[in-house]
Amino acid sequence: MTAHPRLAHRIVAAAFAAFVALPLVWLAYLGFLPPRAVMEARLLPTGVSLANFAELRGSGLGRALALSLTVSGISVAGQLALGLAAAYAIRLGLRVRWLVLVTLVLPVELLLIPMYGLLQQLSLLDTALALILPFLARPVVIFLLVQALQRFPMELLEAAALDGARHPTLLTRIVAPVMAPHLIAAGVLGFAAHWNMVLFPRVMVADRELWTIQLWLTELLRGRPLDWGLLGAAALLATLPLVVLFVILERPILRAFERSFA
* Cβ atoms 184, 253 nearer than 8 A: yes
Determine the pLDDT at residue 5.
67
Asked if residue 75 has pLDDT above 90, the reply is yes
Confidence at 38, pLDDT banded by 50, 70, 90:
low
Q: Give CA–CA dist 89/87, Å, rounded.
A: 5
Q: Does residue 122 have a pLDDT over 80?
A: yes
pLDDT at 42: 62
CA dihedral 228, 230, 233, 236 (to 10 degrees): -60
Q: What is the pLDDT of residues 183-207, one digit of tens each?
A: 998 899 899 999 998 888 988 988 8
Report the pLDDT value the prediction gives residue 43, as an integer from 0 to 100.
60
Among 30-39, 143-152, 211-220, 240-249, the least confident range: 30-39
Most confident of 31-35, 53-57, 68-72, 164-168: 68-72
Pick from 19-33, 112-126, 187-201: least confident: 19-33
Please tell me the pTM assigned to this model.
0.84
Core vs surface per residue 137-148: b (16+ CB within 10 A) or e: bbbbbbbbbbeb
pLDDT given at position 65: 92
- Predicted pLDDT at 67: 93
Beta carbons of 211 and 68 less than 8 angstroms apart: no
Per-residue b or e along 87-105, where b marks 16 or more CB atoms closer than 10 Å to that residue's CB: bbebbeeeeeeeebeeeee
> Cα–Cα distance between 250 and 253 in angstroms, integer?
5
What CA–CA distance (Å, rounded) separates 244 from 231?
Answer: 20
Instruction: Give the pLDDT confidence score for residue 13 in this predicted structure.
Output: 79
The angle formed by the CA atoms of residues 10, 16 and 19, to the nearest 5 degrees, is 140
Q: For the domain 55-260, what is the CATH code? A: 1.10.3720.10
Q: What is the mean pLDDT of residues 73-83?
A: 93
Q: Is the pLDDT of residue 222 over 80?
A: yes
Going by pLDDT thresholds of 50, 70 and 90, the confidence category of residue 68 is: very high
H/E segment holding residue 39: helix 35-39
Query: 188, 186, 222: which is closest to 202 by C-alpha?
Result: 222
